[in-house]
Structures are given as structure tokens and as C-alpha cells.
Amino acid sequence: MVRGIGTSKGIGMGRALIVDSIVLEVKEEQITDIAAEKERYQEAKHQFICEIEQMIEDLKKRLGKDDKTALILQNQIYLVKDMEMENGINRLIEEKKICAEAAVEQTCEFYITLFASSDNDVMNQRVTDIVDLKTRMTGILMGKEKIDLTQLPADTVIVARELQPSVTALMDTRHVVGIVAEKGGETSHAAILARALEIPAVLSIKGALGQIKTGDFIIVDGEYGEIFINPIPKTIEIYKKKRSIYQKQVQELKKYIDKETVTRDGRRVCLAANIGNAGEAAKAMEAGAECVGLFRTEFLFMNGTSMPTEEEQFEAYKKAAVICKDKVLTIRTLDIGGDKDVPYMGLAKEANPFLGYRAIRFCLGRIDIFTAQLRAILRASAYGNIRIMLPLVTGVNELRAAKTVLHNIMNELDSKNIKYDKDIQIGVMIETPAACMTADMLAQEAAFFSIGTNDLTQYMLAVDRGNENVAYLYSPLHPSVLRAIKRIIECAKEKNIEVGMCGEAAASPAMIPLLLTFGLDEFSVTATKVLETRKNIASWTIKEAAEVTDAVMSMHTEREISDYLQTVLEQKEAVNGTGI
């Protein structure tokens, strides 16, 4: 098994086809008739635009006319119509008297070198688009056959160094069952297109072309980012079963896209998504989330080699806010420390990192870093519907201190006439026993609560969430954690503030009836869990959920509770087929 990044879910099985032989060798021929060469370039450009427009039309037919994914290809048209690019090509034909294909290649190479030096995702994507344009345009000028991905044997797995958007767009799901590439990530255009076309894809497999030959049998598991090259028959059998279960589930879940999240008897709740970067906001919206309940901003700090500037943060928050439009985007302030180290910050090693200098404690200790982040969030709030959420709060003093910092920044922005949302809400995560026990007090001063069960469970049970030796003790179904959750929701209701949950427990089928009964307003789950959570919620009536909850709350041990809930879910599945 070889691991990469799973960028388009699903399981594909078939024979490999290496499609990396399309690099054309362009010769720099000298020409004499400049006007004729420029005309040849114009004709090729016209053909290029017609071909891309046709691809966009075909894609729209396959994906629906309102689907915006096809517009990814529009970039190619913008690029080829760009006057600077056009002038550059014409100048080379005139001054160096070289053929149009060489002029196209050299001009494209100039832009590729320019953009490739950036480590910014958008610029890297621009490089892929220009490589794609260069390949197609030189192909047209040289009269070369393009690879035709519609004339392939059924069950083909495409293997490439890097997939170009226009190549991916042509893939037909009747022929192509999987994609494997050495380059590309979650947000690359090829990955977005593969997701839209529902072709399982695993990208970023280092050395894939060295390991796979055309004709090898490949299994592509786009969910776990794994591929198997010439697997044994037993593995093929296992994956055939997995594929048929997955296909059934996908069909089932499709019914829940663009639906409200309601129980069977009509109680409406909000289904939100957790995201780790701005790009994931789009994925969350595509997956049918009604808002973002948690944007973990620490990844912005952990993924680089230096602190992101206020400007870089502003751009990321603004991008997510614009994607979410009027839907709520809950931005959690920096939650580092504990198991989240940021090497360039030089944080001291601590004996008990989970009990140490982390999250809101760190931010209140490093007001410079906190101020830059809050200022970036406030500035971005002019572009969407942002709320601010503080992690690891243990009492009202921390909320008050954060509000003071926020108000100082608001005054400064006012004095400079910088726009922001003056009514921005500031809420807290309830993830410590201290916050749980003072939830009645916090509810008087916070605009909303979000229950972080990942940490709440660890602190409530004194069980390190990452230590496998004590993992058997870690369960949000422990009576203490359930009582804590019930209390937190009651305190929020008492003061009429919204209460959500953004820990993993919000997506747990066993937990859903309990959370519905306690009155949770918002379930915030990873984007891939949105539809199954909506389906699970829809399978309960409040009465049924309350009966289960009554039984659970009378039990004394985690074991008793989890066994009972498992039986309830199994019976439910047997009756309704509600299992995911």
C-alpha cells in the first residue's frame, strides 16, 4: 500500500494508464513571414478558445448548468486573452523571428518561472494552468493529437506526474475510475474537478511513475489517500465490498444535500462544519453545511516557518468570510500549546503541556500576537458574517480580558476609519471542567457557547486525549461528561444564548439523540460528516430521543451506556436502515 493525499472520495479499481508522455518537444524554427506567423498564432488561439468553451459546455451538461466547477477552465481563456501574454508572444515572433509554437513556449516558461518561485497555493495553481495552456497551444500549433480520455478501455486508472485541469475535465466516469498523481493537493484545480466528477483521486504520491507501469492493477481509495499496486485477490475482494457499500451510501446521502437539518418530527437544528483553512470553507459549503462552527486558525501558524503577518491572516479570514457569504463563520482565536507545537515560536518544553501555557492563556500572555490576530479578524468581519470564539476558557476573567483587548482594537480601527462589524459576537468554547462549572456565569457575558468535547472529555476524565495507554478510558459517553454537556446546554438556554458543539462527539450517531434531547442548537462536524449527520438527525423524533436519553442518564457506567446505545442504533438500523 502506498499513501498520498486523498482528494476525491470513493474507491476505484482498474488498469493503470500512464499519461505523462504529452511533453512535446518544441523546436525553435526561424521564420521569414512575420505576419503569416502571427496569423497562425491567432488561429491557434481561436481554436484553443473554442475547445475550452466546448469543454466548459460539456462539463456543465454533466454537472448541471448552475455548477461553478466548470469555470475553473475559464481561467485558461482569461490567460490566453491576456494582453501581456499576447504582446509577449507577438514580440518574440517579430524580434527573434521564431515560429509561433516556440514563442508560445518561451512566453509561458517566463510566467511559469515567475509564479513558481512563490509558495502561495493560488500562484502554484496558476503555474499548473499555464503549463496546461502551453501544452494545448503548442499541441494545436504542431498539429499533435491530444490524449483522448474518452476513448479508453473501461475501468482505467489514470496515473500522471501532475494532472492538468483540461485533461481532468475531459475524463469520463464511464472509462476513468481513478486518478493517481505525483503532485497536487486538496485544493488544486484537478482535485476540485475530480471531486465534481466523482472520480476517486489520490494525489501527492511521491515516485508514483517509478512504481506503476501501464497495465498494472490499481486500487484507489480516495477517502483514506491510499493506493494498492497489483494487490492480492483477498485485498481486491475486500475493496469490492467496500466500494459497493460506499456507492450505496453516496446515493442515500445525496438526498440530504441542500436540505434543512430537522428531526423526523420537525425540530430544526443548525448543522455547521469545522474547517482548518479558508479553502475548506468552500468544501464545507459544497458539502451542504449551513455555516462554519469552528475555523481552527492555528494551522495558519503551524503550517509555515514563520508567524503569519496580520495581512496574511486578514486575507485568509476574508477569503473564508467571502466564501461563507451571509452564513456564520466562527473563527477560533489561536489555540496552540498542548499537542500543537509551533517550532519557530520557541515555546518552552513543559512537564504538563495540556495543563500549561496554551490557547487563551498564551494569547493573553502574548498580547502582540493576539492583537494582530484580532485586528485581522475584525478587518475581515467587514466582508462576511464572522463571530469570534475563545478556546480553553476557564472563567469570566479570561473572557473579560479578551474583550478589553478587542475593544481597544475597535477604538483604534474607529480612529483610522477602518471598517469592521461593530456588533461582532464573542463567544467561548466550553472545554474545561472550570468553564462547565461556571457556565451559568459565562452565559451572562458570552454571546454563545460551543462545547469542545475533545478537550472536555480529556479534562473531565483526566485522560490524555493522545495517550494510547489510557485511550480505553477516553469516552464522551462517560456519565460525568454527559452530565457536563447537559449542564452547559441548560446554562446557555437559561440565558438565551446559542449553544453548539464542535468536538468530534457532535457527529457521533450514539450521541445525537442525547444532544437533541438536551436541546443543542448547532452541531459542528468535519465537512465529510455533514450529510451523514443530517441523515442521522433526521432519523430521530424528539420523543424517541428523550426515551433513550432518560435511560442513558439513569445508567452509572460508560460501558453500560455505550453498550445500550449500540444496541439502540443496531435495532434502529435493522428497522429503518438508518446506518451510515
* CB-count exposure of residue 394 (10 Å: 0-12, 13-18, 19+): buried
Q: Is there a catalytic annotation at residue 189?
A: yes
Cβ nearer to Mg ion, comparing 105 with 455: 455
Name which of Mg ion, ligand PEP, none residue 502 binds, using a CB cut-off of 5 to 8 Å depending on partner kind.
Answer: ligand PEP
Determine contact, residues 177/200, Cβ cutoff 8 Å: yes
Among 156, 204, 333, 453, binds ligand PEP (CB under 6 A): 453
One-letter amino acid of 400: R
Pick the stretch among 155-163, 188-196, 217-225, 448-456 that binds ligand PEP (CB under 6 A): 448-456
Residue 107 Cβ vs ligand PEP, minimum distance, rounded to whole Å: 46
Q: Is there a catalytic annotation at residue 502?
A: yes
Among 105, 455, 464, 558, binds Mg ion (CB under 5 A): 455
Q: State yes or no: residue 438 binds ligand PEP (CB under 6 A).
A: no
Among 184, 500, 503, 513, binds ligand PEP (CB under 6 A): 503
Give the residue among 3, 22, 10, 5 at the shortest CA–CA distance from 170. 22
Cβ nearer to Mg ion, comparing 455 with 532: 455
Classify 185 as helix, strand or coil. Answer: coil
Pick the stretch among 67-75, 227-235, 399-407, 430-438 that binds Mg ion (CB under 5 A): 430-438
Q: State yes or no: residue 384 binds Mg ion (CB under 5 A).
A: no
Cβ nearer to Mg ion, comparing 455 with 522: 455
DSSP state of 471: G
Cβ nearer to Mg ion, comparing 332 with 375: 332
Q: State yes or no: residue 485 binds ligand PEP (CB under 6 A).
A: no
Classify 176 as helix, strand or coil. Answer: strand
Among 431, 498, 521, 544, binds ligand PEP (CB under 6 A): 431
Among 14, 200, 337, 452, binds Mg ion (CB under 5 A): 452
468-486 b/e with 16+ CB inside 10 Å = b?
A: eeeeeebbbbbbebbebbb
Q: State yes or no: residue 502 binds ligand PEP (CB under 6 A).
A: yes
Instruction: Write the CB contacts of 246 (distance below 8 Å, at least 6 apart in sequence).
Output: 9, 10, 11, 223
For residue 132 the three cell numbers come to 496546461
Residue 301 Cβ vs ligand PEP, minimum distance, rounded to whole Å: 13
Cβ nearer to ligand PEP, comparing 503 with 509: 503
Q: State yes or no: residue 427 binds ligand PEP (CB under 6 A).
A: no
Among 296, 318, 534, 535, binds ligand PEP (CB under 6 A): 296
Name which of Mg ion, ligand PEP, none residue 453 binds, using a CB cut-off of 5 to 8 Å depending on partner kind.
Answer: ligand PEP
Name which of Mg ion, ligand PEP, none residue 427 binds, using a CB cut-off of 5 to 8 Å depending on partner kind.
Answer: none
Q: Where are the beta strands (DSSP E) in 38-167?
A: 156-160
Exactly one of 270, 363, 436, 502 is catalytic; name it.
502
What is the 3-state secondary structure of 333-381?
CCCCECCECCHHHCCCCCCCHHHCCCHHHHHHHCHHHHHHHHHHHHHHH
**How far apart, in whole angstroms, are the C-alpha atoms of residue 268 and residue 521?**
8
Classify 438 as helix, strand or coil. Answer: coil
Residue 123 Cβ vs ligand PEP, minimum distance, rounded to whole Å: 29
Exactly one of 189, 270, 436, 478 is catalytic; name it.
189
Determine contact, residues 217/197, Cβ cutoff 8 Å: no
Name which of Mg ion, ligand PEP, none residue 464 binds, using a CB cut-off of 5 to 8 Å depending on partner kind.
Answer: none
Residue 484 Cβ vs ligand PEP, minimum distance, rounded to whole Å: 12
Cβ nearer to ligand PEP, comparing 296 with 375: 296
For residue 429 the three cell numbers come to 468554547
Residue 235 Cβ vs ligand PEP, minimum distance, rounded to whole Å: 33
Residue 534 Cβ vs ligand PEP, minimum distance, rounded to whole Å: 20
Give the residue among 272, 178, 271, 259 at the shortest CA–CA distance from 226. 178
Determine contact, residues 458/481, Cβ cutoff 8 Å: no
Report the half-sphere exposure of 79 (CA within 13 A, side-chain side): 24
Give the residue among 192, 223, 221 at the shortest CA–CA distance from 121. 192
Residue 298 Cβ vs ligand PEP, minimum distance, rounded to whole Å: 8
Name which of ligand PEP, Mg ion, none residue 14 binds, using a CB cut-off of 5 to 8 Å depending on partner kind.
Answer: none
Instruction: Write the CB contacts of 341 (distance below 8 Å, at least 6 apart in sequence).
Output: 302, 347
**How far apart, in whole angstroms, are the C-alpha atoms of residue 516 and residue 261?**
12
Residue 503 Cβ vs Mg ion, minimum distance, rounded to whole Å: 7
Report the half-sphere exposure of 196 (CA within 13 A, side-chain side): 27
Residue 511 Cβ vs ligand PEP, minimum distance, rounded to whole Å: 13
**How far apart, in whole angstroms, are the C-alpha atoms of residue 435 and residue 456?**
9
User: How far from 125 is each of 75, 128, 171, 188, CA to CA, in Å?
Assistant: 10, 5, 20, 6
Q: State yes or no: residue 455 binds ligand PEP (CB under 6 A).
A: yes
320-379 residues near ligand PEP, rule: CB under 6 A = 335
How many residues touch Mg ion under the rule CB under 5 A: the total is 3
**How far apart, in whole angstroms, are the C-alpha atoms of residue 517 and residue 526?**
22
Cβ nearer to ligand PEP, comparing 438 with 454: 454
Q: State yes or no: residue 452 binds ligand PEP (CB under 6 A).
A: yes
How many residues touch ligand PEP under the rule CB under 6 A: the total is 10
Cβ nearer to Mg ion, comparing 454 with 528: 454
One-letter amino acid of 5: I
Cβ nearer to ligand PEP, comparing 438 with 541: 438
Pick the stretch among 137-145, 398-406, 452-460, 465-473 that binds Mg ion (CB under 5 A): 452-460
Q: Which residues bind Mg ion (CB under 5 A)?
A: 431, 452, 455
Q: Which residues bind ligand PEP (CB under 6 A)?
A: 294, 296, 335, 431, 452-455, 502-503
Residues catalogued as catalytic: 189, 502
